[in-house]
Homo-oligomer: A and B are copies of this chain.
Amino acid sequence: MVERSPSVLDLTYAALADPTRRDILQRLRRAEARVTDIARPLPMSLNAVSKHIAVLERAGLVQREIRGRDHFLRAEPARLTEAERWIAEYTGFWERRADALAAHLETYPENPAAEGQA
């Protein structure tokens, strides 16, 4: 087998494919937290959570800062742009958006946003 290492996109989508990990990301979106804090409300062992965090970290979706015995985690939302872009391009987001813009300009040919502003 060729055994290629998985791409960023592979890691990102795989990380997002688990509800526990999406949960962890949502929690980290509000504020940074320690591993134990994240694990407390979850219905599984601390070890399992530690593994989930490792998956998110490998995908670059969270970053870890070790302060003493605590590992503080924070979300890295920028790492999702590639995943977002893939879907957007696939679904033709930009084409639809271009159509909408064209329609808009046709309706409002003198929209000030289309001209240099004061």
Contact = CB atoms under 8 A, between A and B. Distances in A.
Nearest to A91: B77
B14 A13 contact: yes
Q: Among the interface residues A18, A77, A90, A107, which one has the most CB atoms of the partner chain B within 10 A?
A: A90
Given A16-B13, A22-B9, A107 B111 contact: no
Interface bracket on A: 20 to 34
Q: Among the interface residues A7, A10, A14, A91, which one has the most CB atoms of the partner chain B within 10 A?
A: A91
Interface in A1-51: 7, 9-10, 13-14, 16-19, 22, 25-26, 29
This chain: how many copies in the complex? 2
Interface string A54-88: 00000000000000000000000110110110111
B10 A19 contact: yes
Q: Considering the complex of A and B, which 9 residue pairs feature the smallest CB-CB distances, nearest first?
A: A13-B17, A14-B17, A13-B16, A77-B91, A84-B87, A13-B13, A80-B87, A108-B112, A80-B91
